[in-house]
Amino acid sequence: MFHQQPEGARVMKKSFSKWMLTLAPILYMILIWILSSMPADAIINTPFSFDRLMKESLHLIEFGILYWLIALALAAHQSWTVKASILAAVVSILYGATDEIHQFFVPYRSATVIDLVKDAIGVLVSFYIMKITYFAKRPSFITSIFQKLNDAE
Query: Longest Cα pair distance anywhere in the chain, in angstroms?
Result: 64
| Better-predicted residue by pLDDT, 15 or 95 | 95
**Average of per-residue pLDDT across 62-84:** 96
CA distances in angstroms from 133 to 21, 72, 74, 99, 127, listed in the order given = 21, 15, 18, 29, 10
pLDDT > 80? residue 5: no
pLDDT in tens, 98-144: 999 999 999 888 889 999 999 999 999 999 999 999 999 999 999 99
Burial class, 113, CB count within 10 angstroms (exposed 0-12 / middle 13-18 / buried 19+): exposed
Given this model, what pLDDT does residue 50 score?
A: 61
Instruction: Report the alpha-carbon distance of residue 66 to residue 55 in Å, rounded.
Output: 17
Q: How many CB atoms lie within 10 A of CB 73?
A: 20
Given this model, what pLDDT does residue 122 score?
A: 97
Given this model, what pLDDT does residue 65 score?
A: 98
Which of 7-16, 32-41, 47-56 ranks highest by mean pLDDT? 32-41
Given this model, what pLDDT does residue 128 score?
A: 98
**Average of per-residue pLDDT across 19-46:** 85
Given this model, what pLDDT does residue 152 score?
A: 75
